[in-house]
Amino acid sequence: MSRRTGVPLHTLRTYERRRLIPALPEHGEAQIRRVELVRALLEVGGLGELEALRILGLLDCSDTTLSRLLGAVQYSLPTAGSASDDGNWARAEERAHALARARNWRVSEHNPAWRTLIQSFVVMEWLGQEDLLRLLDAYAEALEKVAEAEVRLVVERPDPESAVTRMVTATVIGDTVIAALRRLVHEHAVSRLECSSAPTA
């Protein structure tokens, strides 16, 4: 099992002892998928053991739908942002609502990413960078395509364990990839701008 999953034996024993995986003598594909899922939840997603056990409990519940399961995973992933009672927060929250309405998004205020978005708007205002808000539609349009493509890949998975593993990976690693790509394209865009504005001989 350790060779097939790349997880050290002592870590597998810890997973077993804490009831994150069944007893180790089982070496079937279902057991391997469960180990990969636990590793994704703990090491990639950064979830605590109690949160991971809650997700696993939902997974093992026969009446849990895939959408409910994936929603539980996404809401459990750590995000930044905390609410406040000042006017800045209220304005930023209304801006987030306006964006969601304009894009016809079906999203919940209970999604932790909602607070992160509002906090970002508040910080823009604090720093006097409200003109960045003009980019919201560009951000939203680009990321709608990305998110829809990611979700298609997730729901194509043949079983719930691998679907959740992919959801965690796409969310956490995808955030890093998107940030890295954006910075590379920033460099490309600046280079193009400099070339286009350079005087011709």
Calpha distance 39→31 (Å, rounded): 12
Q: Are residues 119 and 134 in the same domain?
A: yes
pLDDT at 64: 84
pLDDT at 85: 66
Q: Are residues 136 and 71 in the same domain?
A: no
pLDDT at 77: 85
Question: Is the CB of residue 43 less than 8 Å from the CB of residue 53?
Answer: no
Asked whether residue 14 is domain-assigned, the answer is yes
Q: How far from 8 is each of 2, 13, 107, 188, CA to CA, in Å?
A: 6, 9, 39, 42
pLDDT at 95: 96
Q: Are residues 69 and 131 in the same domain?
A: no
Asked whether residue 195 is domain-assigned, the answer is no
Structure pTM? 0.78
Calpha distance 37→43 (Å, rounded): 10
pLDDT at 71: 87
Question: Is the CB of residue 172 less than 8 Å from the CB of residue 45?
Answer: yes
pLDDT at 24: 65
Q: Are residues 47 and 73 in the same domain?
A: yes
What is the span of the domain harbouring residue 114?
Answer: 80-156
Give per-10-residue mean pLDDT for the chain (201 aa).
82 89 75 88 88 90 86 83 75 96 95 92 90 95 96 91 90 92 95 77 53
Q: Are residues 133 and 165 in the same domain?
A: no
Q: Are residues 46 and 104 in the same domain?
A: no
Q: Are residues 87 and 136 in the same domain?
A: yes
Asked whether residue 38 is domain-assigned, the answer is yes
Asked whether residue 98 is domain-assigned, the answer is yes
Asked whether residue 141 is domain-assigned, the answer is yes
Q: How far from 86 is each of 4, 79, 83, 90, 124, CA to CA, in Å?
A: 53, 21, 9, 7, 15
Q: Are residues 167 and 72 in the same domain?
A: yes
> How many folded domains does the chain comprise?
2
Asked whether residue 185 is domain-assigned, the answer is no
pLDDT at 118: 93
